[in-house]
Amino acid sequence: MSTPPTSASAKMPTWFIPHGGGPCFFMEWNPPHAWNRMADFLKNVATTLPRTPKAIVMVSAHWLTPNVTVTSGAHPDLIYDYYGFPPHTYALKYPAPGAPELAAQIANTLAGAGIASAQDAQRGFDHGMFIPLKLMFPEANIPVVQLSLHNSLDPEKHLLVGRALQALREQDVLIIGSGMSFHNMGAYGNPQYGPVSDAFDDWLTKAVEASPQERYRLLSNWEQAPGARLCHPPRAEEHLIPLMTVAGAAGDDAGRKVFSDRVMETTLSAFVFA
């Protein structure tokens, strides 16, 4: 895996990561090694950063709201928003603190950019946050806020949200989009979707690695990609849209694919902008 710059002056990168299937990294799976490479990748992310983040903004696929909303509680609870998994997975802990001041800054910044937003002091951390962060930053000592998706799932709107927040990176805030580059629940495990996921992944990689202006244009029109709606069915693209927010927050920085694996017959990838 290639790494972002590590100089003391480097801005924090932005990441789009796959967060797996429910609590998959913390339970037995069939086949047993299905998620191992992804888990190893997530465990290594922190070593690629220029320094330890002062805070994390997590854009989760599992939170959609009428206005972009940020968690503002000091100590958010966990939301075990997965179903039918072993009992021990509902006892997982990730006691990371919230960041009310950062939440207020985000809300004010979005308002200044003409983007309606809200703060939610009651909202907890969903599994799109705590499952990958348990691997990436297991000490749970970095303050975290979650940022919702707008329920329109409009890709350009999310690119603009990210663009408004890009200056946070200069304050050592790490912006992570947590989702899946392929997310068709009815297609996982079906080998017929392997080539479909490959074609979409190839297109997505070229879009991410294009010049910033072309990247914006392509990601705004991601539905035109080959197999787009087979990989992300209509109104189920919430697992792709966090990529738009982190791509917007990248500004003019280059993007590249840093991880890819074949899981449940489909290709799943991660991208970094730095």
Query: For residue 157, how many C-alpha atoms fall within 13 Å in the half-sphere facing its CB?
Result: 15
In words, the CATH class of domain 14-273 is: alpha beta
Neighbours of 262 (CB within 10 A): 13
**What long-range pairs does 199-202 form, CB within 8 A, spacing at least 24?**
199/226, 199/227, 200/225, 200/226, 200/227, 200/228, 200/230, 200/231, 201/260, 201/267, 201/269
Distance CA 253, CA 274 (A): 5
**pLDDT average, residue stretch 147-157:** 98
pLDDT reported for residue 40 = 98
The domains of the chain are located at 14-273
With a CB cutoff of 8 Å and minimum separation 6, the contacts of 150 are 64, 65, 66, 67, 68, 157, 158, 161
**pLDDT average, residue stretch 65-85:** 98
Give yes or no for residue 228 having a pLDDT over 80.
Answer: yes
pLDDT reported for residue 79 = 98
Cis peptide before 76 (omega within 30 of 0): no
pLDDT reported for residue 1 = 44
**pLDDT average, residue stretch 262-268:** 97
